Amino acid sequence: MFENILIALDGSKNSYDALNEALILAKKFNTKLYVVSVVNIANLPTNVGVSYEPNLERELSQDAQIILNNSQRIIESHKIDYEMDLLSGEPRDELIDFANRKQIGLVILGKSGVHALERFFVGSVTRYISEHFNGNVLIVS
């Protein structure tokens, strides 16, 4: 049914719940699972006169890699075909570009992300993907 499935992880409980759904579907349909985490460098301060800790981008990358490493342990126990990627940029754009490049048939996302404010509504990245991706989107809450 789905040739390729994409799951985006941000470390939130919702994203790990979405991973569990992705594993079930990937196994059921015998399809490849692409697991990504995006380092959101779009929100790093870049205005003139504003500086940020030079190591911040590296720390964000390390955090995203830890998320992928933790999920890898879970995925390997399911014995499915998968690929992991660490992306960098604006999450919504990176996810859609990646999905289009890899010919993803289904994108699976958590309802909201790690930010406290997003707990009260569908996360902005999730909403954007559901409105702009030209494929199937499963939102897990």
The answer to whether residues 88 and 39 touch, using CB atoms and an 8 Å cutoff, is yes
The CATH number given to whatever domain includes residue 96 is: 3.40.50.620
pLDDT per residue of the chain (141 residues) written in tens, 0 to 9 = 778 999 999 998 999 999 999 999 999 999 999 999 999 876 666 655 555 566 788 888 899 999 999 999 999 999 999 999 999 999 999 999 999 999 999 999 998 655 443 433 446 889 999 999 999 999 998
Non-local CB neighbours of 92 within 8 Å, separated by 6+ positions: 124, 125, 128, 129, 132
* Domain assignment of residue 109, given as a range: 4-39+52-139
Environment class of 88 (CB within 10 Å of its CB; exposed 0-12, middle 13-18, buried 19+) = middle
Threshold 0.75, pTM exceeds: yes
> How many domains, in total, are found in the chain?
1
